[in-house]
Chain A
């Protein structure tokens, strides 16, 4: 390796990845030809997923290493451009790739909190952390805490927090892997999880950070191509302009105009919408009446209701020439009837809420913080800004991202590398809002008003796959689709775009491969962070500092395996809601790490006790608020200032900052050595400087 200079290395990397991109395009063309020859879609799905996972495995095997520096930080010679791509893939998870456009479709302006939060955080990374961490130049984030604050306590809190937020986040990724594999290959969810896990492990197990880095670059290329092709196509279809990001402003104007028409009951389309909403209103009231009666009558009422349904079914069957569909529906109503009062309450509450959601007029896509009065508007605005801040600061504190900046050759390259990172992330993030608007335009103008007898083919095919993603029911029996009759799940937008745009199935397979690349690359980075925190920080730095290299690596690899299997096991139990898990990881990281890391660089007076107090106060406050308010834990305490549990970091961060300041000022200033360390990280190169670099 040493024989090759950095510029030669850069040139050969460029050559490899150009060949690779060409090869990938050729592969997609071959699959497209296979499709034309009549190979069934399911087989195409298998080919795509198997080929990409094998490719990642191949890179993993080629990058296997037994060198500590290669294993932990890819030999510190990843050029800025490639580290940018790797960070992009590391960063963009299943939630970004599949979920984000859907969130924007469903919540309009308010969904932009994710777009802003997940990009703006890189300003904090670039200005406050990346160059300084690179100068410090060891292996993990707890390493920095350990050296800057001294002693094992700050390091241990760092290890705990790193594992907590990475583990929360990795569950969401493995869930995404399971979802994609099961949807496109027909394997069961649990099997899909473990199959995907194999793909993650072959890569990181043999080559650590080095293998993960080069795989992530490959994954970035796949995911960005897969995301762009369908959106460009859809843009051409609706605007004639192949640059969706420029073209969709005018589409948004049309969507807004259409919203006004559909909300106005004096227009023919608006009247139909109002009719459907009125039906839902009646349903909601009827269900609420049933709930009330259940409250009063209990089991007796339930039995009476069931008897009524049975009689109705029996009468129907006794009638001559009864419609078989009606008979089946009556029978189904009897069998589906809730078994006991608790089940009935749960089912009816859900049904009432579902109907209620359909009674509201269409929300305007471009309007920020829509609400019925000023209080509702203020509450939405407050939560929007709080979420943006938590996501941004969380971005600048997630160990698997910060760790990537240890891998560049110099401080200068680290700075440039943050630029490339955000640039590559930006490409996807400024496309997602365009996709949401284009898809909305398609639904509002082409699907609404079409006849139930000739629905677009993508609607029928996705409704057949999963009712929660797509369902249309003719509520007012007029044979025409109204907007209120359509139910769309957020994940549908990205998954169905190729079909909405009228592209062949090969592009759908490509999108699946892109989603898988996004989820796998993030999971790789996270698992490595957890395993490294345990093997490097706990075992090597705290238990056995004299451990030989081979044992350190063996332990790291063993832990990686254990953590991965454990994470997959937890995922297969399907805990909680994905978006919340992701949000929780950001709030936790923001509260635990950010104050101690940033003040560690910018405030020399910050000391060990400040860090201990700040990190535990931040983490503690954040965890306490989540536990008390997130419904999953069942406490349901009142919210503080109406802030949603996903933004718990808004309380954790100030607690962390105050903790560091108070704790530091109450105890003595750090010694000369620590102060020299701070100067060391502040200047890329100092005469007579100390050296903190790890081999």
Chain B
């Protein structure tokens, strides 16, 4: 099974939407709060080059924003 990580901040609505979507599809994911977890923030910036949330990692693929079609494609949903 693919390893899914969601890098988010508590106030970011699109992050909540992304996490809700994974829950709805019963996909396990690791949630990283980059507002507090500085290690996670570093990982996100290094791997994605991004300073914007959400960043979603599915195995080695980096998705910026809640890009539903990309998620569906990588996880073969729908």
Chain B binds chain A: no
